[in-house]
Structure 1
């Protein structure tokens, strides 16, 4: 569970409630069932109309995707790729077949290694892996855009709810004393619509995009590493190529994980002979 997402949503909602009460409002004034029904029901209906059924069935998946951190770690991924590179350089590419069990739950990695073992041309492997990354990105975004759409519909539904409330108020002007409270209640629908869009729907969509960006980065590292393993590049070159994908903070963590000091990150030669490092077997 991504605690930051939960804390952010809780903080956003709580801040609105506290701010309202500090202005002299009461919690009961915020609880308007009819306004909630109009905004939530109208938004849900608009989303259902906008997306095909096969996409709507993925709502539980995309909610989990937003609230759970990506499992793969860049440093761990680089460590595994360096281990594969060491094995292939010592024992040959066919030896990688014996490492397939390590990636039984990682279809992307397993497929790439299998193509290398089968002797598939590097251009074909590169095309397949990059196409897989593109399709994966499109798939996640196509599902996540339900929250983006909800963020667009929600404020409009709030305005519709407010207009409906005002129509009711203006139709009953016989009691001027109740006019003010009735108008206030009508505007609660706008509050629900705008708050729902900017505190819930759009932030969740942004978190989906952030998690997807991390997932895509991991897959790009894997694709680059698999091709480098097939080319038989030495470990130093492989590590430097993969480190280029990382931010300075992530690179520092990866270096610590691999036991590489700063003075080693540029070159690792001893007596003119390259010393392979980073294998954790």
Structure 2
């Protein structure tokens, strides 16, 4: 299930708020005017856009909007529910055989689970199932990396174009030392381009790319659990043993809850006896 990842917009807002607070503290509300310079904006954003266009094809650039959108989304993974799903599949497979799972997985939403279980039902060797499912994980990781690479490159190019703007401003300033009225605007270009470029890289592009990488790693982790579950079901493992095996992937808090519930159940049985 995908929800709004509030930490992405909140982080952006907090970062900008601290910068605004620093400006207001030292220069008041009118101090913002000193940090807005159209030539500096043109140098950084124009240079950044041109560098991105040179680096990537149109097909790759079309992925940028969905990639940025994904950094504002949060996908929930119910690991405890995932373990329960495989325990249920294992119990039915032991009672009725693997062929009975073909109807069981119709109610499962995750296509990766469906694919693994159907491969097991078809009698594919475990090693082959692992290879097929790992190949899909590698393909997923490669797709995510390609989409993320645009943000990573933007994070590299933004400070570089900030430095180019700084060099332009310094050259203009040095060539017009005889005219004091031009020193201020040229110095503004020199300093503000570096500020814009660094701000874009370290507040927007690099953090978003890092978040997307973390999301990819989490998704791969969940798929590795699914592979373990599929192989466990196919090999006919005892549901309790499979549950114990998959439970090691759960957070400690959830494992403690399960252990506590199991102990309570055992205690209730002893009391009844």
Query: Contact (CA 8 Å) 1:162, 1:187: kept in 2 or not?
Result: yes
Residues of 1 paired with 2:158 and 2:203: CA distance?
11
Change in Cα spacing, 1:148 to 1:251, as seen in structure 2 (3 Å) is farther
TM-score norm. by structure 2 comes to 0.87
Between Structure 1 and Structure 2, which shows a larger proportion of helix residues? Answer: 2
Query: Contact (CA 8 Å) 1:86, 1:235: kept in 2 or not?
Result: yes
Residue aligning to 1:64: 69
Change in Cα spacing, 1:6 to 1:121, as seen in structure 2 (3 Å) is same
Question: What displacement does 1:58 show?
Answer: 1.1
Question: What displacement does 1:115 show?
Answer: 0.7
Residues of 2 paired with 1:9 and 1:250: CA distance?
32
Residue aligning to 1:36: 41
Structure 2 runs not aligned, ≥5 long: none
Residues of 2 paired with 1:170 and 1:8: CA distance?
39
Question: What displacement does 1:158 show?
Answer: 0.4
Query: Contact (CA 8 Å) 1:29, 1:185: kept in 2 or not?
Result: no
Please say if 1:23 is aligned against 2:26: yes
After superposition, give the CA deviation of every residue in 1:45-78 in whole Å (9 maximum; x if it has no partner): 2122223333222112211221111233222222
Question: What displacement does 1:144 show?
Answer: 0.4
Change in Cα spacing, 1:48 to 1:239, as seen in structure 2 (3 Å) is farther
Question: What displacement does 1:80 show?
Answer: 1.6
Residues of 2 paired with 1:172 and 1:178: CA distance?
7
Please say if 1:262 is aligned against 2:265: no
Question: What displacement does 1:109 show?
Answer: 1.4
Equivalent of residue 92 in structure 1, options 73, 97, 102: 97
Structure 1 runs not aligned, ≥5 long: 272-281
Question: What displacement does 1:217 show?
Answer: 1.0
Equivalent of residue 195 in structure 1, options 193, 199, 203: 199
Question: What displacement does 1:185 show?
Answer: 4.1
Query: Contact (CA 8 Å) 1:74, 1:250: kept in 2 or not?
Result: no
Once the two structures are overlaid, the 10-residue window that deviates more, 30-39 or 162-171, is 162-171
Question: What displacement does 1:173 show?
Answer: 3.1
Question: What displacement does 1:169 show?
Answer: 2.8
Residue aligning to 2:137: 133
Q: Secondary structure at the match of 1:72?
A: coil
**Which of structure 1's runs of 4+ aligned residues deviate more than 6 A?**
none
TM-score norm. by structure 1 comes to 0.85
